[in-house]
Amino acid sequence: MSHPPITVTSPLLPPLDEFKELLDDIWEHKRLTNNGHYHKLLEAALSDYLKTPHLSLFTNGTLPLITALQAMNLRSGEVITTPYSFVATTHSLWWNGLTPIFVDVEEETGNIDPALIEEAITPATVAIMAVHVYGTPCDTSAIQAIADKYGLKVVYDAAHAFAVEVNGESILRQGDMSTLSFHATKVYNTVEGGALICPSAESKQHSDQLKNFGFTGELSVIAHGINSKMDEIRAAYGLLNLKQVEVAIASRKKAANIYRAALADTPGIRCIADITGVKHNYSYFPIYIDEAAYGMSRDELYNKLKAEGILARRYFYPVIPDFEAYRNTLSAKAAHIPVARKLAETVLCLPIYAGIEDSTLVRITSIITS
């Protein structure tokens, strides 16, 4: 019996009739972009939901990373960052003329290891850019202590961390700035989109100027900004999706619990556990394969699932320093990042999305455990 492909993520779509109503309203008012009605509504709604008073919307998740660095006037020097992420993290440094310095990660979470940051600091270091990998919070207290000691800025790539909280406080309020991605594969999406979490009204105003070419008025340009504004159509779509995000997170949590229970006794399969005091969003469900104990390599399992129409993802693989664009970076040498390399070579993210059926989860786990 053949089955339709099952992908690693799938968006929860808003009701079509409600979306059509909002589209009709946009068409009637004839304003498609440039800080329109729905753009303002979505910024306010997201700020309230995420407990972040100063939030600026962007057209994708990469541009707020670039803009955060510009807003803090980081235009030269070194930035300590992780090798275990999507390339957009490091690309944002390149676009600002900054040099990435890769530091290894924690084996348990995949997040940058604070114990290794201090030894990587040089007189040229200006910031730390960390990633909440798979939505699991970094050790923000340890990172901030190091940043304060050396006078460094801290930027968090929180692309996976929508709605994640630690002891009731949004993880997005840590560091100097945090960024979000609203790509279609995320827990919450605007098809494409993103946001920059700013520490103050003044920094939000400056970020808003930077995402609009640096304009402060019709005849005034104060900075080398870029065009990264979100349009009205995606903002309207995002408003509808925000209404159902709690349902999406609850559905993902249920799926994660089923996965963990089904795989708990399988030798050579490791899942990431929930952390006490953290409100997780279950944006991904990674497992790590110990070939010796499991009897099959990660790639062999990947291909076995693929043959059954199950499209898992080797995410993040390869590590960023293995890409040609970064291969010659001194800190990219294998000896500097053994844990990140190990995770990249053994990770497999299983399909998880809102509405995934129990029978689908059973089929996936049955293939893994057989």
> 160 lies in a domain?
yes
The CATH number given to whatever domain includes residue 106 is 3.40.640.10
pLDDT by 10-residue block (mean), the chain, 370 residues: 65 87 94 95 98 97 98 96 97 97 97 97 98 98 98 98 98 98 96 97 97 94 95 97 96 98 98 96 98 98 97 96 89 84 98 95 97
Residues 181 and 251 in one domain: no
pLDDT for position 331: 78
155 and 65, same structural domain?
Answer: yes
Q: Flag whether 98 is in a domain.
A: yes
In a domain, 1, yes or no: no
Q: What does the pLDDT read at residue 197?
A: 98
> From its phi and psi, is residue 369 left (phi > 0), alpha (psi between -120 and 50) or beta?
alpha
Domain-terminating residue out of 243, 261, 281: 243
Our count of domains for the chain comes to 2
Same-domain check for residues 230 and 269: no
253 and 239 share one domain: no
- pLDDT number for residue 1: 47
Q: Do both 300 and 177 map to the same domain?
A: no
Same domain, 223 and 308: no
Q: Which of 243, 260, 283 is the last residue of a domain?
A: 243
- Would you tell me the crossing angle of helices 37-50 and 16-29 to the nearest 10 degrees? 130
Residues 31 and 135 both lie in one domain: yes
Tell me which of 227, 243, 259 is where a domain ends: 243
CATH number at residue 294: 3.90.1150.10
Do 229 and 90 share a structural domain?
A: yes
Is residue 189 one of the residues assigned to a domain? yes
**Domain interval for residue 198:** 16-243
Q: Report if residue 294 sits inside a domain.
A: yes
Is residue 268 situated within a structural domain? yes
pLDDT for res 254: 98
pTM of the model: 0.95
Tokens 């605007």 belong to which residue? Answer: 190
Q: Is residue 308 part of a domain?
A: yes
Asked whether the beta carbons of 253 and 284 are under 8 A apart, the reply is no
Residue whose tokens read 């890769």: 102
One domain for residues 239 and 297: no
